[in-house]
Structure 1
Amino acid sequence: MAIKFGLTNRGYIAPTFAEWLDDIEDDFRSRFGDDIVITSNSNFGILARIFAWRLTEISQQMEYVYNSGFYSTAMDSALDRLGSNIGIFRKVARPAHTDIKIQTDGEYLVQAGEQFETDDGIVFDLTQDVVTTQDKDGNWFGTGPLESEETGAMNNVEANTIVNLSDPDENVLAVTNPEKVSDGQDDEDDETFRQRLIMENSAKPGPTENGIKSALYNLVGVRDVSIVPNDTDHVDMYGNLPESVHIYILGGNKQDIADTLVNRLPAGCVLNGSQVVDTVDVSGNKKTIKFDFATDKPIFVKVNVRTNDAWNVDSGATDIKQQVAQFISRLEMGQTVFLTKLYPIVYDINGVEEATVEIGTSKDNLSGNDVPIDLFEAPSCDVANIEVVVDG
């Protein structure tokens, strides 16, 4: 066969089915004569197509094996194995955790296993018994740890949204979560994991900016990191102290973040931030770490499409939602959500003839304009925030 395939000095070549078929048909003619019948319903034609299909499958599998050796092209379990080689593992879906503040009518025991929920029906379980005590104003309060019943980032609800007792109790007057929930986590997809591996390979965790980012990205629930230095001798426009650093983090547990930063930051580093967490360094010395959580900026999208015969009624709308949500959620902190960048994603779905897209920060405030994102905000988009209207 004259066709080139496999490893070459320019990488791996995997011929297409049409290329294999042309090559096999040429080979048959050279061996059996130019007058043989090689149409699709002839004996030679059927054999040629069987050989071409099998060779296509084999060469594609060989290409997959070749690509599995590189961060930029490996997928699924191959990417996991590359990560394990350097001690980095794919993040798996985890439940969210927070504290619940409970007010009762007198001293009262709220037992572990009691369930609390948001108005949207996101359920959290109390993991330890809580006994309320009286404060100086004569009110009875107690605080206990919660864990979301399900895994995933959808459980990262805002502060003061877990306000319902699933099984009402007349002794419980009120409940709430004083702080935003931030450590719920979805299964990490290939592209996000790939970027972490590339960063880890180029910047090992350490006192450099990229090294600090690398260490933080490896924490459960952390989705984005921004480090803002103030190299001047005066307070900057953000209120940061002279010769200091302000670290903004989207997601994660604040104690995990502090424990990581205390051993990654350079000596004498001055930190800014409203999150103040005590931790201990490797020498056993108590340290105070400051940082801030970035603001999650949910984006809402409405897509109107006119379709043709290639449109898949069962999965077309879902594909649009998933692709758009994935693109927006991968934008970095402070990146504007450009409307024009969503159109190629929509038109890439089979069967989309024409499309109009509107975006905004709420489902009631959509327009055909870009959505600017502040420096310390991170855009995100859930498939539930996307509406697809189909006009066949």
Structure 2
Amino acid sequence: MTSTHRPRDLGLPKPRIKATRDGQGFVPLTEKVKSPITKPPQSPNSNGGDPKLPPIKAPLPLLSLSQSPQPIRLHLPLSNKKKQSQTIHGLSEFPSSVQTEDSMAETEISPVLQEPRHVVRKFQARPQHEGDGAVVRRSIGRFELKYFDPFLVLDEFSVAAPAGFPDHPHRGFETVTYMLEGAVMHEDFEGHKGTIKAGDLQWMTAGRGIVHSEMPAGPGISKGLQLWVNLSSTNKMIEPRYQEIQSSDIACMAKDGVEVRVIAGESMGVQSPVYTRTPTMYLDFKVRQSAHLRQPIPATWNSFVYVLEGEGVFGSERTAPVGPHHLLLLGQGDGLEVWNKCSKPLRFVLIGGEPLGEPVAQLGPFVMNTEEEIDRTIDDFQFYVNGFEKAKHWRSEGMGGL
């Protein structure tokens, strides 16, 4: 949710950055990476950037389950048990009674983990101003953590009209907007527009280029999470595309005091319809008092937790509880254990992804692999070419466009 001025005054932040080889920091672009970055072996379920989705024509289509160009591939192992899901409506309201799968064995919902992940780093996201008068709590993409491969940014945003995120560009990655409260109106230069309401998900692939706006819809405060997922070098210049999932279509499951909404990937025997070009899991958990959760995570993936409500114990039962707005980076292992020892429900998101292992060059809303590619992207945006042609005469309705 980065906003810039119209060209030629980009208003982009400096300095440019590159990711270090461990994917957890940055060095100035003037410094050399001393050894080549190699991509880790792909997991058996990884798509490696395939399939090659067909180009889109204006307006940008929504990629629904029925419209998917080919069967959606998931990147987490699925159980063979019958899967049931219960739709969830609204903000942070997990329903008081959610369908459960009684036939599912306890070991499948809470499997024994051979090597549980532990918290290796923790910090609290503090408010900062972004866009036009909006406030975000940024936990990834800040000074302490510039990059956590493959994740570029995680913002918990809170915005009320007239503040928001007016017309701004993106290239080279995906934005994942998950609404917690209120609604955001989205509009882009291809003519796609709509409202993302509480509980809804928008997975936008910026690819070779998109210019859009994100503004609060209606009175009151709109809150949500926006995650930026990096794309591999082979996918950075693909055509833009959307996947939009309404709250009622997000799969969920509950058992033994643990409820989950599956934004991407799979948990507790239910799976998301979202196709992830960069293999990703995104799970929204609510854990009741005294409940205990075990969630598998592919061993080669990076993962983290962001706490939304309540307090929880993560990784080791002997550690202190962690409260809202904290980001927890997880170490290596095959899954995460969580305990709620407090009287109030705990709500958090668990996000993981397969590292790309590629260089990262970033200038504001543009994310490529090299400084030269960033320079070309700036030229493309300023001169309205190579994906930005329609930006020349487009303004969102909020900026006085038609």
- TM-score (ref. length: structure 1): 0.22
Q: Which has the higher contact order (CA 8 A, sep 6+)?
A: 2
Structure with greater proportional helix content:
1
Structure exhibiting the larger radius of gyration computed from Cα positions: 1
